[in-house]
Amino acid sequence: MSSIHRTGLAIAGAVAALTVTGAMAIEGLSSSQTPGAQTTQQVATDASAAGASLPPEIIYVNPAPTPGTVTITQTAPPVAHVIVPAPAGSDDNGGDHRHGGGNH
């Protein structure tokens, strides 16, 4: 492995380490942020205690209407097939030009 490859690998490793460290710092997962997890858990406990004292709320939802039936009344126009005769004087022995012509 050449020195340029080693240098690139070292830079890539440093960037990856800084990226992971930065993401952890933003999320508050570093070792100095441990009280943050306890605060979140306490807020969740307080919210569940407050919710237990309220009566349940009933919400009625109307069902979606049944879609109507779609009837197609227009049909496709007819297709006209046009057969073009061969020019006068040409002889292809009744064969197909796409396949080499002639009766094989």
Q: Which two tokens stand for residue 72?
A: 């197609």
**Tens of pLDDT, residue by residue, the chain (104 residues):** 788 999 999 999 999 999 999 888 888 765 554 555 555 556 556 556 655 678 888 888 888 888 888 888 888 888 888 888 888 776 666 555 565 555 55
- What is the predicted pLDDT for the residue at 88? 78
Q: How many CA within 13 A on the CB side of residue 91?
A: 2
Dist CA 70 CA 4 (whole Å): 67
Cα–Cα distance for residue pair 38/95, rounded to 1 Å:
88
Dihedral Cα 35, 41, 45, 50, nearest 10 deg: 80
**The model's pTM:** 0.28
